[in-house]
Amino acid sequence: MTERNETVDPAVRRDGWIIRSVRFAGWMSIWVGLFLLGFVAHQLFVTTYLAQQNNEKLEVEAQEYFVTVEYTEIPYVEPGASELTDPVDVRLPVPALKVESPPAAHEAFAIIRVPSLDRLEDGWAIVEGVSRKDLKNGVGHMPSTPLPGQPGNSVFSGHRTTYGAPFHEFDELEPGDIIEVETGIGIHIYEVRETIIVRPTEIWVTQARDGAWLTLTTCNPKFSARERLVVFAELVGGPNFAAISG
Amino acid sequence: MMIKRLFFALPGPRPVQVTLAAAILIAAFIALMFVYDWMGNNLLDSGGGIS
């Protein structure tokens, strides 16, 4: 055996090494290709299928929540507005603000519709929470912010590419486009005011605002988590509009 | 060929080898889904949250 090895031509030995290397590289390319193909299929089709199945159930859950939700009506005084001190100062009575009880964590409590976007024309359920698990259902509400239709800045986050990609077409939104959010107290109508792109750490976009606002955040650009596309929309109609706008 | 060799290298009689191979395949599939999920969340689309 040893004797035979010693007689092998060095050129032939070198060629054998090259062939083995090329074969190894070929097989590795095939396996890496299959891995990446599986990744793309998983992200684009499997996650979307799962999210759509989930969303159908969550929309039913949200509709059931609308029937059972409890709310109270309170007089709304805009922050910073002066109290009635002069007895001669008679103001017209303002409509009361409807305040619904907060939903439980992970519960579907609202439905978002954007008539100008195909993907959100029929609506998408919103769950309470923005954890990774919550967002696998599509759209989540940041619990530390007000509920939609309430004064302040209500913040939602949603997927752009995977898990049904409910916010896929958000780059097509323009000022003046309408966003509807249905909750237990009615349909709140918002109008898009501004769209900006920020870094994922710019939490100022979630801060409180005067009036009633909706802030929607999603990944940007498509197929990347590098930045955030942020849409600001202001309340222009719905059960609480009269109370908030004064 | 390599997969065949790995299968025959599994311990025990044939039914045990088949069961072990099935268990390994299922575990590998689940691990692959976790890897895909992690890659998707970190590279492709994290859900759009601000933090």
**How large is the ipTM?**
0.83
Place of tokens 């890496």: A32
Query: Residue A225: its chain B contacts at CB < 8 A?
Result: 41-46
Inter-helix orientation angle B14-39/A10-41, to 10°:
70
Dihedral sign (CA A192, A197, A200, A202): negative
Total count of residues recorded for chain B = 51
Tell me if A160 and B42 make a contact (CB, 8 A cut-off): no
Quote the CA–CA distance of A120 and A134 in Å, as a whole number.
18
For residue A70, name the pLDDT band (cuts at 50, 70, 90).
confident
Q: What is the pLDDT of residues A87-96, one digit of tens each?
A: 555 555 667 8
User: What is the pLDDT, as a whole number, of residue A81?
Assistant: 60
For residues A217 and B47, give the distance between their C-alpha atoms in angstroms, rounded to a whole number: 9
**With bands split at pLDDT 50, 70 and 90, how would you rate the model's confidence at A1?**
very low
Average pLDDT over residues A180-200: 96
According to DSSP, the β-strands at A186-198 and A178-183 are: antiparallel
What is the distance of C-alpha A125 from the center of its chain? 10
Q: Write the DSSP symbol of residue A88.
A: T
pLDDT in tens, A102-130: 999 999 999 999 999 999 999 999 999 99
- pLDDT band at residue A80, thresholds of 50, 70 and 90? low
Q: How confident is the model at residue A58 (pLDDT cuts 50, 70, 90)?
A: very high
Q: What is the pTM of this model?
A: 0.83
Q: Do B51 and A201 touch (CB under 8 A)?
A: yes
Encoded amino acid at A55, one letter: N
Q: Which residues of A touch B44 (CB under 8 A)?
A: 43, 161-162, 223-225
A87 close to A95: Cβ distance less than 8 angstroms:
no
pLDDT score recorded for residue A16: 87
d(CA A71, CA A149): 13
Looking at residue A246, its pLDDT comes to: 73
Query: Of all residues in chain A, what percent carry a pLDDT higher than 90?
Result: 76
User: Burial of A85 by CB count in 10 Å (0-12 exposed, 13-18 middle, 19+ buried)?
Assistant: exposed
CA distance A43 to chain B (A): 7
A39 neighbors B33 (Cβ within 8 angstroms): no
Nearest chain B CA: its distance from A91 CA (Å): 41
Out of A42, A158, A201, name the one closest to residue B48 (CB).
Answer: A158
| pLDDT tens readout for residues A7-57 | 777 777 778 889 999 999 999 999 999 999 999 999 999 999 999 999 999
pLDDT per residue as tens digits for the range B4-41: 888 999 999 999 999 999 999 999 999 999 999 999 98
Q: Look at A167 and B32 and tell me if their CB atoms are within 8 Å.
A: no
Shortest Cα–Cα distance, B35 to chain A (Å): 9
Q: Are A181 and A148 in contact (CB under 8 A)?
A: yes
As a whole number of angstroms, the distance between CA B1 and CA A103 comes to 57
State the pLDDT at residue B51.
84
With CA atoms as reference, the chain B residue closest to A206 would be B50
Rounded to an integer, what is the distance from CA A226 to the centroid of its chain? 15
Residue B50 has its nearest CB partner, among A43, A163, A200, at A200
